[in-house]
Homo-oligomer: A and B are copies of this chain.
Amino acid sequence: MKAFSAYKNPALAVDLVVFGYHEKTLSVLLLNRNEEPFKDRWTLPGAFLQMEESFQQLCSRILQTKLGMDNVYLEQLYTFDAPDRDPRGRVIAVAHYALINPKKFAVAAGKMANDVQWFPVKKIPALGFDHKEIFTKALQRLQSKIQYFPVGFQLLDEMFTMSELHELYECILGVEIDRRNFSRKILDAEYVINTGIKREGSQNRRPELFKFNKKLKQNNFQLNIS
């Protein structure tokens, strides 16, 4: 039995598309590279896989060390294999995307110097490597998945109003959705549970607060956007 590691293998990395939702804007976390190649260019956070590490562990490592985050929604996206995608040599990137609530990691904002920044998805700068392609694929995945699967709650607080959820969907999908029909669909699908609590401090009528229904039996939800 041969030892594979004796052979030359391509390097294996994970790149992360970290989505955050804040002030009615969907954003992505980017790092400003401080070394070649692509020095001073914005890129997705990433790291190389260690020999005994799972993707999950590596993702956590990236999120913790570079971004001070933990315990977030993660999903494998796609594996990018273009032989010339990294000028340093052959690097295969297993892209993942994460959904986080930026508010929860405000503590880590100290680390957030000029070299780590949120960028609205509508205003992504030029990216190094093939990261633009990765980002685009991640956004598409999120947009299609949110139409039939309860993803997106990870971007909000524990409790949220129907309006906030509605705005999130409109923001991610980039379309207008009828407020009342949306509400009915969410309720019919039993995506959320009414906590009975109402949010105080509003200028108008106090909206009801909902939380995500974690014990969702079967998924009836289907949004049908263009």
A residues in contact (CB < 8 Å) with B: 1-5, 7-12, 36-37, 48-49, 51-55, 76, 78-79, 81-83, 88-92, 94
Check if A78 sits within 8 Å of B76, measured CB to CB: yes
A83 to B81, CA, bound (A): 21
**Residues on B with beta carbons closer than 8 Å to the beta carbon of A91:** 4
**Residues on B with beta carbons closer than 8 Å to the beta carbon of A49:** 9-10, 92
6 smallest CB-CB distances across A and B, nearest first, come from A4-B11, A9-B9, A55-B81, A5-B8, A79-B79, A4-B89
Check if B92 sits within 8 Å of A12, measured CB to CB: yes
Check if B4 sits within 8 Å of A52, measured CB to CB: no
Label chain A's interface by main secondary structure: loop
A4 to B48, CA, bound (A): 10
A78 to B9, CA, bound (A): 19
Q: In the complex, which residue of chain B has the Cβ closest to the Cβ of A87?
A: B1
A88 to B4, CA, bound (A): 8
**Residues on B with beta carbons closer than 8 Å to the beta carbon of A82:** 54
Check if A54 sits within 8 Å of B79, measured CB to CB: no
Check if A11 sits within 8 Å of B7, measured CB to CB: yes
**Residues on B with beta carbons closer than 8 Å to the beta carbon of A51:** 8-10, 90
- Shortest Cβ gap from A15 to chain B (Å): 13
- Shortest Cβ gap from A39 to chain B (Å): 12
**Residues on B with beta carbons closer than 8 Å to the beta carbon of A94:** 79, 81, 92
A52 to B90, CA, bound (A): 7
**Residues on B with beta carbons closer than 8 Å to the beta carbon of A4:** 10-11, 48, 88-91
Given contacts A4-B48, A8-B51, 14 further A-B contacts (CB under 8 A): A1-B36, A2-B88, A4-B90, A4-B91, A5-B10, A9-B49, A9-B51, A10-B49, A49-B92, A52-B83, A54-B83, A55-B79, A55-B81, A79-B79
